[in-house]
Chains A and B, each alone.
Chain A
Amino acid sequence: MRTSGHTGEAAPRPAPHIARGTGWWGMLLLQLVLVSMLAALLFSYFYLRDGFDTWPPAPAPAPALGLTAVATGLLVLSAVPVAAVHLAARAGRSDGRGPAALAAALALGAAFLAVQFADYSANDIDPQRDVYGSLFLALAGFHHVNAVLALLGLGVVLLRVRSGGMRPREQEMVVTAAHYWYFVVWSWIVVAATLYLAPRFW
């Protein structure tokens, strides 16, 4: 058995411990909370959509896909550098490329948000006009709040790793933040499919 780590300890923790530490468990349960919220929002979306004959209701146009396709691409891409840092942290490696990878993920995530916000005005989304706009706000808003929080988390990790390398605290932070970011990525695919694709089929 390994006895570990108070603050200031320099040696990284080995993979089996860091991969399933309490931070990992806490993040897993937090994600279940978020999944439950997402499910409630999706239920609301389809439940309310069911009350309409045409969706989206006039005067809203069927949402155009161009911008959001670009945004989604950026977001999916951002998972790559995050995964690279995640794997390095699990292996206890501190190879100096961590900060650059995290910075790339941050930039991609921020670009995703910027493109999406351009999309909302282009697609004429108005939460106060009717329930269609309201639902758009709810689903996209839920996602974007998580995205901003996860980006902040990645930013903190970036600063910590740059100044201190991969010590046990940073390792745990990377694992936790990376899993949060994966949630942001996959939940966006669900949210975008609902908001942008579902109206084309139902």
Chain B
Amino acid sequence: MTTLQDPPATEDRLAATWATQPGAAGWFTALNHKQVAQRFLVTAFVFFGLGGIQSVLMRWQLGSAESTFLDAQTYNELFTMHGTTMMFLFAVPVGEAFAMYFLPLMLGTRDLPFPRLTAFGWYIYVLGGIFLYSSFLFGQVPDGGWFAYTPLTGPEYSPSSSIDFWLLGVTFVEIATIAGAIELVVLILRYRAPGMKISQMPLLAWNVLVTGIAVIFAFPPLVVASVLLELDRKVGTHFYDPAAGGESLLWQHLFWFFGHPEVYIILLPGLGIVSTIVPVFARSRIVGYSLIAVSTVAIGILSFGVWVHHMFTTGIPQLGLAFFSVASLFIPIPSAIQISAWIATIWQGRAVWKTPMMYVVGFIVIFVLGGVTGVMVASVPFDTQAHDSYFVVAHFHYVLIGGILFPVLAAVHFWMPKITGRLLDERLGTIGFWLTFIGFNVTFFPLHITGLQGMPRRLYTYAESTGWELTQAIATWGTVVLTLGLLMTLGNVVHSARYGERAGDDPWGGETLDWYATSPPPAYNFRGIPEVASRSPLWDTRPFRPRYDPATWQDELREPRAPVRQVVLTSVLDAAPEELVTLPQKSWWPLVMAVALTVALIGTMIDVYPLALTGVLAAVVTGVAWIWDRQDQR
């Protein structure tokens, strides 16, 4: 028996150093990537649920002609909040959240490079989301659509505070997204396991790398656009005000410079998840690794060249239209390359049909359909017809639900066993998949037809004589099925987290280092940092035995000399080990900083400028403390 006085055995020093302190204080100061990423995941799914409830209400309204279930104003608020929630509060953060949890594991390291920034990002994400949703309490729900076009959202036509909730809340969430992107890019460049050359890292890392860089370039213009609009609304400037020399179209340019890459920012992590899952269940190495990596980069670059295609109907010069239309038509090529590579991989291997694989194939089917309609709307003459009709609603739900929701559900089924250590129920999973897949198609396929029949989007109701009721009613019944499917998945996840069968460390025969860690992984992920020399380390030698040389730095990592959290930095291209560095252990500053900024936000919102100033000053002081005081040693 050990007594309290005994020094912890060396074996335990690693665990003790990485352990989060118990209690509320520990919770609020926790920095470990898995703990914070779990919060990100849960939060993103809560927002998905809220956005989902809003969409069900809308679908109920649309299911019958001249329905009085919702009035026009409520409908406007619902589609605005639904679109905003899904795009900003669910789709982008959920991709980052999975990357924050699993990339450090897949790359063979112990944490993200800026642990305090990780925590800060989550706090402002949550607080920004709560801020946006608090508009319901005040009856001033944003109603300007998810892209908040001026002049509708300017001071003249939206005098109430609803748009301020939108601008300030969404900007907070954007800052969280940018912070996450910076972390992930540095992680991928500098924290890979020794020996993991950049040409050998998992494809998910390529996708997240490109996504991160796209976020870094695409989100700041939207932050700028939002700040300028907020200045117009609060300070009386004139950026979007034609009467004093401003222009409304400026908002559209800045917004779509962000908005189009946004679609790929949502999509790319999904593609990475698919490239991760396909080889594992096809039982075959991925075909065309380099082609997939290159086409991922190509998608990232092309996505910045096409923003004007959202504005074909705004009266842009002819030559510009032609240029952007052609650029838009190039985008499908790299996507087609990836799809071919996945199909070839499945073809070459012996596919095992587990739930994650079903979602992947569901994704491919849906995404191809969405791509076809995308090519249609990329042509100017067709877009002039279909613009702002239900055809577009159908198209972007195919791309978005296909592009992110199905890969995310695949990832849930694939990685939950790693997070909880327990398997999901395969039968429930299969039923959930079919309900979701069929429900989705029944919901959104008929809307293409409604659109071609001429129904404009964002219409809260329609007359019976229009002939739109049949397809709209089918869509509503489809939503019922879809919702059942999603609830079944939720039930499966919740139930299995407690009662599921034990998964073991590697239930699927995985390819990457995440399956080398135990399930659930310890806070430090790996006791010895594995050195790798190929793309599929776990498939080269079985069982996987990383090289371990006790006389080296490996030894210090395994048994830290002092109670510090250490990781190994490696070089950008070849991942040659360069240096062991320490990371902060815990910190209050992320929380304090987020709260200070929220105070500033509230002060701005309610026009109490002393309060706003207090918040800003508190944030500055916190910033100084943050730089000054970093606790690396226990």
Interface, chain A (partner B; CB < 8 A): 1-8, 17, 21-22, 25-26, 29-30, 32-34, 36-37, 39-41, 43-44, 47-48, 51-52, 57, 127-135, 137-138, 149, 152-153, 156, 160, 169, 173
Contacts and interface: CB of A to CB of B under 8 A. Distances in A.
A25 B186 contact: yes
Interface of B: 113-114, 178, 181-182, 185-186, 189-190, 216-221, 223-225, 228, 231-232, 235-239, 241, 244-247, 250, 253-254, 257, 552-553, 556, 562, 564, 566, 569, 577-582, 620, 623-624, 627-628, 630-633
Q: Which of A25, A138, A156 has the most CB of B within 10 A?
A: A25
B604 to A, nearest CB: 15
Given A131-B239, A131-B244, A138 B228 contact: yes
Given A30-B182, A44-B250, A44-B254, A134 B237 contact: yes
A128 B239 CA distance: 10
Given A3-B556, A34-B220, A127-B236, 4 more contacts: A4-B581, A131-B239, A137-B231, A152-B623
Contacts of A1: 552-553, 577-580
Nearest to A31: B216
A43 B253 contact: yes
Contact of A22 (B190, B225, B257, B564): B190
A8 B186 CA distance: 25
Given A130-B244, A131-B238, A5 B182 contact: no
Contact of B562 (A6, A47, A127, A160): A6
Given A48-B245, A127-B235, A156 B228 contact: no
A40 B579 contact: no
Given A40-B220, A47-B247, A51-B247, A6 B579 contact: no
Given A40-B254, A51-B245, A152-B623, A3 B579 contact: yes
Contacts, number: 147
A134 B244 CA distance: 10
Nearest to B631: A7
B230 to A, nearest CB: 12
A43 B239 CA distance: 12
B238 A25 contact: no
B293 to A, nearest CB: 21
Contact of A48 (B223, B235, B239, B564): B239
A6 B633 contact: yes
B220 A131 contact: no
Given A7-B632, A44-B228, A152-B624, A25 B190 contact: yes
A171 to B, nearest CB: 12
Nearest to B251: A44
A12 B247 CA distance: 54
Contacts of B190: 22, 25
Contact of A3 (B185, B580, B632): B580
Nearest to A50: B247
A1 to B, nearest CB: 5
Contacts of B185: 25, 29
Contacts of B564: 6
Nearest to A17: B579
CB-based closest 9 A-B pairs: A131-B245, A134-B237, A40-B221, A36-B220, A3-B580, A40-B224, A37-B220, A6-B564, A131-B238
Contacts of A57: 245
16 contacts: A4-B581, A6-B564, A17-B578, A22-B186, A25-B113, A25-B186, A37-B223, A40-B220, A44-B228, A44-B254, A127-B236, A130-B244, A131-B238, A137-B231, A153-B627, A156-B628
